Amino acid sequence: MRKLALWLMLLPLIVSAQSADDELVKVKAFIPDIVLDLKYNTSDNFAEQKLYSTDECFLALNVVKQLKLVQDSLRMFRQHNGTSYPQGLGLKIWDGYRPRAVQYLMWEILPDPTFVADPATGSSHNRGAAVDVTLVDRATGEELEMPTCFDDFSERASHSYSNLPANILANRELLESIMVDVGGFVIYSAEWWHYSLPAAAAFPLLDFQPK
Ligand SMILES: [Zn+2]
């Protein structure tokens, strides 16, 4: 009986330890040199309005751990596609965790399930399980050339679009290979910038509003 009582006392600790992976954390606290450019905290986005109230990017802890592996690898890239990068490459985040209330607003503006997830079922962004990223030169912070800018809702944003200069294809492929092979993320075929972590697909839909 005493063993059972002890086990019952420990149970909440075990449960909370298991749920820590879905806890939202500040990305910068774990990856200080990652570049943040949260487009929904500006009016420079498809909604043409500021939808966030913070410049902090949050993601589920599990997702941040995987992104850190990606950033650690990118920092080592001193040469890519004929260009030298003395401080290596890095990630820039355009969007991470997104409150579900914002998802409803986006759906009102653009109810197109190819580019905006239906808020009824939720987006992996609402779980802190998806991230929108591009590559930057760590020395200058300049973005590497990619097929489109963020939230370009055209066929040019698709992973299967190949009518592009070789250097742009190489940049898109580098981002894909490192996010998938090192980070364990999966692509979204319609958007070259969107990556999600399958292990986080069951994390809860959240409406926490970071300040
Ligand atoms: Zn996304």
Q: Residue range 48-57: average pLDDT?
A: 94
Type and span of the H or E element at 80: strand 79-80
Each residue of 166-199: pLDDT tens digit?
999 999 999 999 999 999 999 999 999 999 999 9
- Residue 163 CA, ligand 1 centroid: distance in Å: 23
191 is catalytic: yes
pLDDT at position 16 is 46
- Residue 191 CA, ligand 1 centroid: distance in Å: 8
Assigned domain for 205 exists:
no
Each residue of 99-125: pLDDT tens digit?
999 999 999 999 999 999 999 999 999
d(CA 171, CA 174): 5
pLDDT at position 7 is 56
Assigned domain for 210 exists:
no
Each residue of 130-175: pLDDT tens digit?
999 999 999 999 999 999 999 999 999 999 999 999 999 999 999 9
> What is the band of 55 on the pLDDT scale with cuts at 50, 70, 90?
very high
d(CA 137, CA 13): 42
Looking at this protein, which amino acid is placed at residue 185?
Answer: F
- Residue 10 CA, ligand 1 centroid: distance in Å: 38
Q: Give the predicted TM-score (pTM) of the model.
A: 0.90
Assigned domain for 206 exists:
no
Question: Is 61's pLDDT higher than 80?
Answer: yes
Number of folded domains in the chain? 1
Assigned domain for 208 exists:
no
Domain of 178, CATH number, reads: 3.30.1380.10
User: What distances in angstroms separate CA 106 from CA 32, 103, 112, one per listed residue?
Assistant: 30, 5, 10
Range of the domain at 125: 24-200
- Residue 195 CA, ligand 1 centroid: distance in Å: 7
- Provide the mean pLDDT of the chain: 92
8 A C-beta contact, residue 209 and residue 99: yes
Assigned domain for 16 exists:
no
- Exactly one of 48, 142, 173, 191 is catalytic; name it: 191
d(CA 39, CA 151): 10
